[in-house]
Amino acid sequence: MTSEATIMEGGCGCGAVRYRVTGAPKWASHCHCVDCRRAAGAAYVTYVGLQTAQVAWSGTPAVRYQSSPGVIRSFCGKCGTSLTYEGERWPGEIHIFAATLDDPGLIKPQAHVYVGQKVPWVQLSDGLPRFHTLPRDGPPLQG
C-alpha cells in the first residue's frame, strides 16, 4: 500500500467536495455487496479504510444517507458522487471510495469481500483472497 508519510487527495466529480488523507490506509478492498453496488451503480466498489482523523475535508459531503441500519453513506450534494461509507461495526473509521482519489494507483487492494453477493458476470482473476462476507467471518474461499 502506501507509507506513513503519504498524503493522498481526492474528491467528487464536480470539485465541490475535496479531501486530503494523511498517513497510510488501514486497508483497501473490493466490496461486492448489493448495497455498495447500488450506492455506486457499479459491479463492485473499491474502498480505502482510514481512521476518521486521517481525513480533512474541503467542502463537506452534503448528503448523508442511512442506507441500512448502522450504515451512513455520503455523497456530493451537487453532482451526486458517492464518497464515503461509515458503519457502526467500524467505530472511528471512514471508508472512502478509492475511485475518488486523484491517483487511485496509490492504493493496492488486498482482498475481495462479500463475493457471496457478486454479480455472476464478474470474473475474479487477480489472485487476491476472496471472502464470502468479511475476513473476520471465515477463511478465504478456495478456487
Q: What is the pTM of this model?
A: 0.90
**Which secondary structure element, helix H or strand E, spans residue 21, and what is its range?**
strand 18-22
Instruction: Report which of 80, 55, 59 is spatially closest to residue 16, judged by C-alpha positions.
Output: 59
* CB neighbour burial string for 47-56, b if at least 16 within 10 angstroms, e if fewer: bbbbeeebbe
Examine residue 109 and state whether it is found in any structural domain, yes or no: yes
Q: What CATH number does residue 25 fall under? A: 3.90.1590.10
60 confidence band (pLDDT: 50, 70, 90): confident
Can you read off the three cell numbers belonging to residue 34?
448489493
Residue percentage of the chain with pLDDT more than 70: 96
In a domain, 2, yes or no: no
Q: For residue 99, give its domain range.
A: 7-137
Asked, for residue 33, whether it belongs to a domain, the answer is yes
Number of domains into which the chain is organized: 1
pLDDT in tens, 70-91: 999 999 999 999 999 999 989 9
Local structure of residue 78 (DSSP, 8 states): T
Indicate whether 75 belongs to any domain. yes
Residue 56 forms part of a structural domain? yes
Rounded to an integer, what distance in angstroms lies between the CA atom of residue 91 and that of residue 80? 25
Q: How far is residue 80 from each of residues 15, 31, 45, 64, 142, measured CA to CA in Å?
A: 11, 20, 16, 11, 37
The answer to whether position 107 is within a domain reads: yes
In a domain, 23, yes or no: yes
Would you place residue 5 in the very low, low, confident or very high pLDDT band (cuts 50, 70, 90)?
Answer: low
Domain annotation covers residue 18: yes
